């Protein structure tokens, strides 16, 4: 877990508001493509990409260059040309998390902006354009959810994870990427309630206390997880690798890959799954 002492000096309320506004600006661009005839292309890893992904990334990258000049940014659609950040502070961006859901007309897609300091995520902003919601949090300072109308936000509501509810625990499972190892873990844990969900929205539901566990034992990428990881910890939850060691960011794994993780709203209960 990141500590307050490790927060970058720029990470104040004004910056979080600006990052939120940037995510909402990108969200509006993404929504403008929903009824368009999208061209869906396959990237080298076989994942899909569309004009909406690229438009969102362009807005975010330009905005971050103005807001935080000199701070390195690793974004999904430019990651092929990115090297491991040498700076202790950098950002991880997924301009459209849940492209499959977006193309299918599902509302479970998000825009993720995460701030990493010394290998640990310390702040995260996640916008859900089709749901008109935005979540944000800073480790050690708390987390909140806001309703959005276009690029305007309503009053922020503080959120927090919930204690483990025992037999009523809800596990979130990937709508597009549920793997056999994760399914086996949930079977061993005897968690009966399993709710399919796409994108980083799963972290948001954990953070606000609507669910209890999200495990993914198949590989994913740092930009898919960093913002949600920070939000979850800010709201009182925890995330770890399957062997219970901390998950570190910065490209230590090839191509910014993450071999797997387990996330939960109740840190004490999470230990039984790692």
Long-range Cβ contacts of 238-245 (<8 Å, 24+ apart): 238/1, 238/263, 238/264, 238/267, 238/270, 239/263, 239/264, 240/270, 240/274, 241/274, 242/217, 242/274, 243/274, 244/271, 244/274
Domain match, 37 and 113 both: yes
pLDDT at residue 252, as a whole number: 67
Do 132 and 35 have their domain in common? yes
Alpha-carbon distance of 179 to 105, in angstroms, equals 23
CA–CA gap between residue 11 and residue 16 (Å, rounded): 7
Q: For the chain, how many structural domains are there in total?
A: 2
- 39 and 152, same domain (yes or no): yes
What pLDDT does residue 3 have?
A: 46
pLDDT value of position 83: 65
CATH number of residue 261's parent domain: 3.40.190.80
Residues 191 and 145 in one domain: no
The domain boundary, picked from 102, 128, 159, lies at 159
Name the residue range of residue 155's domain. 4-159
User: Using an 8 Å Cβ cutoff, are 170 and 268 in contact?
Assistant: no
Residue 147 and residue 218 in one domain: no
Residues 173 and 94 in one domain: no
| pLDDT tens digits, 182-207 | 999 999 888 989 999 999 999 999 99
User: Each residue of 124-166: pLDDT tens digit?
Assistant: 999 999 999 999 999 999 999 999 998 889 999 999 999 999 9
Residue ending a domain, choose from 159, 178, 212:
159
Q: Render each residue's pLDDT in the chain as its tens digit; 274 residues.
A: 444 447 999 999 999 999 999 999 999 999 999 877 889 998 887 888 999 999 999 999 999 999 999 999 999 888 765 667 878 999 999 999 999 999 999 999 999 999 999 999 999 999 999 999 999 999 999 999 999 998 889 999 999 999 999 999 999 998 878 889 999 999 988 898 999 999 999 999 999 999 999 999 999 999 999 999 999 999 999 999 999 999 999 976 778 999 999 999 999 998 888 8
SS (H, E, C) 162-227: CCCCHHHCEEEEECCCCCHHHHHHHHHHCCCEEEEECCCHHHHHHHCCCCCEEEECCCEEHHHHHH
Report the predicted TM-score, pTM, of the whole model to 2 decimal places: 0.94
Per DSSP, helices labelled H in 50-143 are 51-67, 99-104
For 210, the token pair is 């609507």
Same domain, 153 and 173: no
How many other β-carbons are positioned within 10 Å of the β-carbon of residue 69? 7
Q: Three-state SS for 141?
A: coil
Q: Does residue 194 share a domain with residue 261?
A: yes
Q: Do residues 106 and 188 both lie within one domain?
A: no
Whether residue 145 is found in the same domain as residue 200: no
Which domain-ending residue is among 159, 185, 219? 159
What pLDDT is stored for residue 81 in this prediction? 57
Same domain, 126 and 40: yes
Residue-level pLDDT at 34: 82
Give the model's pLDDT for residue 192.
84
Same-domain pairing of 177 and 260: yes
Indicate which CATH number applies to the domain containing 35: 3.30.540.10
């Amino acid at each position: 877990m990141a500590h307050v002492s490790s927060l970058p000096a720029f990470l104040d309320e004004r910056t979080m508001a600006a990052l939120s506004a940037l995510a909402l600006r990108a969200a509006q661009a993404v929504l403008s493509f929903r009824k368009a005839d999208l061209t869906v292309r396959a990237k080298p890893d076989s994942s899909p990409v569309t004009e909406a992904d690229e438009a969102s990334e362009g807005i975010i990258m330009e905005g971050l260059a103005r807001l935080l000049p000199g701070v390195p940014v690793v974004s999904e659609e430019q990651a092929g040309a990115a090297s491991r950040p040498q700076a202790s502070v950098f950002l991880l961006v997924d301009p459209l998390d849940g492209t499959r859901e977006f193309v299918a007309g599902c509302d479970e897609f998000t825009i993720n902006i995460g701030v990493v300091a010394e290998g640990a995520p310390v702040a995260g902003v996640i916008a859900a354009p089709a749901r008109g919601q935005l979540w944000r949090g800073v480790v050690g300072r708390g987390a909140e959810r806001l309703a959005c109308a276009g690029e305007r936000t309503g009053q922020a509501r503080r959120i927090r994870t919930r204690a483990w509810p025992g037999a009523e625990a809800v596990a979130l499972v990937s709508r597009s990427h549920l793997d056999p190892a994760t399914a086996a873990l949930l079977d061993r844990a005897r968690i009966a309630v399993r709710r399919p969900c796409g994108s980083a929205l799963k972290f948001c539901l954990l953070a606000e206390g609507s669910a209890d566990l999200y495990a993914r034992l198949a590989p994913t990428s740092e930009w898919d997880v960093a913002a949600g990881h920070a939000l979850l910890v800010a709201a009182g939850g925890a995330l770890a690798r399957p062997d219970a060691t901390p998950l570190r960011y910065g490209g230590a794994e090839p191509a910014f890959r993450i071999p797997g993780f387990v996330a939960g709203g109740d840190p004490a209960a999470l230990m039984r799954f790692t």
